[in-house]
């Protein structure tokens, strides 16, 4: 092989880590609604409905970057299980086109369904320790409310986003998004079914931007 070609290949390989490290990072804090429940000991949340507003209890937010991004070639399959007569996780954020499975980890039957405009489906009743097929493909952005036809108290949420850049805050509202493209975008925070906050952000390669969503 030509010596010059080898030098070009070697230079390209050396530049790969630099290009990856040059991606932008966004961090900050979302001011979450106050809650009167006891402090969380484990990562167990539930979906509550008050005055028609659906949210996690204790509160958490989904932070995402809004913009015109290319669609990925493939997306990993996600999972919302039924465990101890509750959805796990109770709130799942996914990108448009993601497949989701609904395994039953309980010792009783479940029947998961949704009447949400962004996705209507009914899995029918299926027995304990079973993963019903086929997977559900969520191909429209929006909020999906999950319910069980057998256990009326069960609620779950799937937030379908038209962006690959999103994360769920911690219990204090802190978040960090990494491997972001440089440019001018809008950062949004989904807090509940009626509350989404936003703020403009300027992202620079290799830099950390900070934004709070009060």
SS (H, E, C) 169-214: CCCCCEEEEEEECCEEEEEEEEEECCEEEEEEEEECCCCEEEEEEC
Per-residue pLDDT of the chain (214 residues; tens, 9 = 90+): 555 544 444 444 444 443 344 699 999 999 998 864 544 444 556 787 776 788 888 899 999 999 888 878 889 999 999 999 999 999 999 999 999 999 999 999 999 999 999 999 999 999 998 888 778 999 999 999 999 999 999 999 999 999 999 999 998 999 999 999 999 999 999 999 999 999 999 999 999 999 999 8
What is the pLDDT at residue 15? 42
Domain count for the chain: 1
Give the residue numbers spanning the domain of 190. 3-213
Distance set, CA 74 to CA 137, 140, 166 (Å): 13, 16, 17
CATH number at residue 29: 2.60.40.420
What is the pLDDT at residue 70? 86
Could you tell me the pTM of the whole model? 0.83
Burial profile 170-201: b = 16 or more Cβ within 10 angstroms, e = fewer: eeebebebeebeeeebebbbbbbbeeebeeeb
pLDDT tens per residue, range 83-139:
999 999 999 999 999 999 999 999 999 999 999 999 999 999 999 988 887 789 999
What is the pLDDT at residue 35? 67
């Amino acid at each position: 092989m030509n010596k010059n070609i080898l030098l070009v290949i070697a230079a390209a390989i050396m530049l790969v880590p630099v290009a990856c490290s040059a991606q932008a990072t966004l961090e900050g804090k979302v001011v979450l609604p106050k809650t009167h429940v006891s402090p969380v000991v484990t990562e167990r949340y539930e979906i509550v409905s008050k005055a028609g507003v659906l949210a996690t209890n204790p509160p958490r937010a989904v932070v995402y970057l809004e913009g015109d991004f290319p669609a990925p070639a493939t997306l990993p399959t996600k999972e919302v299980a039924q465990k101890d007569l509750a959805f796990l996780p109770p709130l799942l954020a996914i990108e448009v086109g993601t497949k989701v499975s609904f395994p039953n980890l309980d010792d009783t039957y479940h029947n998961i369904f949704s009447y949400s405009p962004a996705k209507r489906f009914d899995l029918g009743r299926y027995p304990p320790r079973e993963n019903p097929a086929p997977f559900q493909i969520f191909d429209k952005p929006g909020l999906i409310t999950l319910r069980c036809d057998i256990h009326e108290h069960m609620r779950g949420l799937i937030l379908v986003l038209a962006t690959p850049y999103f994360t769920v805050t911690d219990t204090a509202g802190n978040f960090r998004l990494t491997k972001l493209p440089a440019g001018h975008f809008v950062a949004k925070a989904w807090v509940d079914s009626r509350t989404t906050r936003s703020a403009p952000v300027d992202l620079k390669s290799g830099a950390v931007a900070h934004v709070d969503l009060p």
